[in-house]
Copies of this chain bind each other. A is one copy, B any other.
Amino acid sequence: MIPIDDTPIVRDGRVLILAMDHGLEHGPGDFKNVPDKLDPTTVFDIATHDAVTAMAVQKGVAEEYYPSYEDDVNLLAKINGTSNLWMGEPDSAVNWSVEYAAELGADAVGFTVYSGSNHEVEMFEEFRDVQEQAREHDLPVVMWSYPRGQGVKNDTKPSTISYATRIALELGADVAKVKYPGSKEAMAHAVRCAGGVKAVMSGGSKTSDHKFLSTVEAVMDAGAKGLAVGRNVWQREDPTRLLDALEKIVHESETADTALEA
């Protein structure tokens, strides 16, 4: 872990990552109801919202669109990723060198680790290289810490999520992006397991405003340091309105109800 509170991807100790790598990970189907969002500029525009501390994209999207947004958006270079056509044990290709990410102006790097997969050993070792190269460039490292595969029966149960945040700490991440373990108590335990690493919740698939924001409130109450969100923002009709609400909950510690009323 490095002191990341002074880095651009953190605002007063909190992190709000807008993720848009779904075109690779899930395919164009994720954009079915929001076809205009297939144009990455629409999502980069959303990412200029003050609530967003970084936008996570794959290399190709960064190469083409980031130059126009580098003054207004912080770039979280998502280093690895795989299509959902992949039928093997969970794995993720390293699509971007840290060196080149830094050259393109990345403010941080992101890396998925599927602990429990029969590719765990290989992914840990790839993470090692990425983490140590990121250190040379003074870039914070966000681990998408997702236990999955042959060794994992339930990928959101409390003990899995606590293990996920702990692995992020042990291996040297600065931020641990994990799924919601189902309760505030479970999230609080996961936060404790993370030590000084910032645990943030992964947004997941789109739900109602109230359900989503209440979960975020619970997560922040549990001591988490923020959120990484994609579909719950850009699949909405009015992403700005939701980001306004998230700004209150994540950055200003307000409740979901207050935030929704505003």
Binding site for B on A (CB under 8 A): 1-2, 21, 23-24, 27-29, 31, 35, 38-40, 58-61, 63-65, 81-83, 85-88, 91-97, 100, 115-116, 118, 120-122, 124-125, 127-128, 131-132, 135, 147, 150-152, 159, 162-163, 166-173, 189, 192-193, 195-197
- The closest CB in chain B to the CB of A79 belongs to B128
A172 to chain B, nearest CB (A): 4
- Chain B residues whose C-beta falls within 8 Å of the C-beta of A118 in the assembled complex: 86-88
Whether the pair A163, B28 counts as a contact (CB closer than 8 A) is yes
- The closest CB in chain B to the CB of A83 belongs to B115
- Chain B residues whose C-beta falls within 8 Å of the C-beta of A132 in the assembled complex: 97, 100
- Chain B residues whose C-beta falls within 8 Å of the C-beta of A95 in the assembled complex: 124-125, 127-128, 170-172
Within the complex, which residue of B93, B131, B189 is in contact with A28, where a contact is CB–CB below 8 Å? B189
- Chain B residues whose C-beta falls within 8 Å of the C-beta of A159 in the assembled complex: 27-29
CA distance A124 to B172 in the complex (A): 25
CA distance A83 to B113 in the complex (A): 12
CA distance A113 to B118 in the complex (A): 19
Within the complex, which residue of B1, B61, B135 is in contact with A170, where a contact is CB–CB below 8 Å? B61
A38 to chain B, nearest CB (A): 5
Whether the pair A167, B83 counts as a contact (CB closer than 8 A) is yes
Whether the pair A168, B83 counts as a contact (CB closer than 8 A) is no
A27 to chain B, nearest CB (A): 4
Given contacts A29-B159, A85-B147, A195-B39, contact A166 B24 (CB under 8 A): yes
CA distance A93 to B58 in the complex (A): 25
- Chain B residues whose C-beta falls within 8 Å of the C-beta of A40 in the assembled complex: 195
- Can you give 6 A-B contacts (C-beta < 8 A)? A28-B162, A59-B172, A60-B197, A61-B170, A87-B116, A96-B128
CA distance A82 to B60 in the complex (A): 26
A69 to chain B, nearest CB (A): 14
Q: List 4 additional contacts besides A40-B195, A58-B172; criterion CB under 8 Å.
A: A24-B166, A27-B163, A59-B131, A60-B173
- Chain B residues whose C-beta falls within 8 Å of the C-beta of A135 in the assembled complex: 100
Whether the pair A82, B170 counts as a contact (CB closer than 8 A) is no
Whether the pair A150, B27 counts as a contact (CB closer than 8 A) is no
- The closest CB in chain B to the CB of A122 belongs to B93
A29 to chain B, nearest CB (A): 7
Whether the pair A120, B147 counts as a contact (CB closer than 8 A) is no
